[in-house]
Amino acid sequence: MRLFSRNKSFFSQEENDKIVQSIQDAERQTSGEIRIFVESRCKYVDPLDRAVEIFNNLQMEKTELRNGVLFYIAIKDKQLAIFADKGIHEATGDKHWKEVVQQILSVFSKESVVAGITSCITKIGEALKSHFPYDSETDKNELPDEIIFGK
């Protein structure tokens, strides 16, 4: 049984492409890695618990600098969470990510979901850039940029 898929109709192909492009644009400024996981409903009361589970299942801790970020969204439950790996968390702390989530929630309430997602990816990329700047000599894309869709 597959837990994750790449084909789900949460977004049109154009919207999907726009989100993936925003990940690629953000990662051009940082050595950090950003992944998005989208599903209908959150299995847990706290979406951060679900994000941690997904992060571990996707083995996102295997980046060289431990600088992966998972952006988790449960569309129908209108829940989201950001989980940052050890390297990022040590550099930024809890307070920073709580502020980013609050900014994201305000964007989601004012704009479309796709515009909110792309705006959030930009904010995550900006946060990563200050602690993990892009280095054209050494940087490589360690994790796929495609959106992962749950059930």
> Which single residue is written with the structure tokens 């299995």?
43
List pLDDT tens digits, range 83-125: 999 988 888 877 877 777 777 777 666 567 888 889 889 988 9
Question: Cβ atoms within 10 A of the Cβ of 72, count?
Answer: 25
Do the domain assignments include residue 29?
A: yes
The total of structural domains in the chain comes to 1
pLDDT at 3 (0 to 100):
45
Do the domain assignments include residue 43?
A: yes
Do the domain assignments include residue 85?
A: yes
Do the domain assignments include residue 8?
A: no
Do the domain assignments include residue 7?
A: no
Q: What is the CATH number of the domain that holds 120?
A: 3.10.310.50
Q: Which helix (H) or strand (E) holds 74?
A: strand 68-74
Do the domain assignments include residue 5?
A: no
Look up residue 5 and give its two tokens. Answer: 């898929």
- Looking at the DSSP bridge assignments, the partners of residue 83 are 70
- The rounded distance, in Å, linking the Cα atoms of 52 and 61 is 11
- The rounded distance, in Å, linking the Cα atoms of 132 and 68 is 11
List pLDDT tens digits, range 67-76: 999 999 998 8
Q: Where residue 1 falls among pLDDT bands split at 50, 70, 90? A: very low
Kindly give the pairing relationship between strand 79-84 and strand 68-74.
Answer: antiparallel
- Range of 118's domain? 13-133+142-149
Half-sphere exposure of 33 (CA within 13 A, CB side): 25
Do the domain assignments include residue 2?
A: no
pLDDT at 99 (0 to 100):
78
> Which single residue is written with the structure tokens 């209108």?
78
- The rounded distance, in Å, linking the Cα atoms of 115 and 118 is 5
- Please check the confidence at residue 2 and state whether its pLDDT lies above 50: no
Do the domain assignments include residue 3?
A: no
> Which single residue is written with the structure tokens 């400024």?
29
List pLDDT tens digits, range 6-45: 555 688 999 999 999 999 999 999 999 999 999 999 988 8
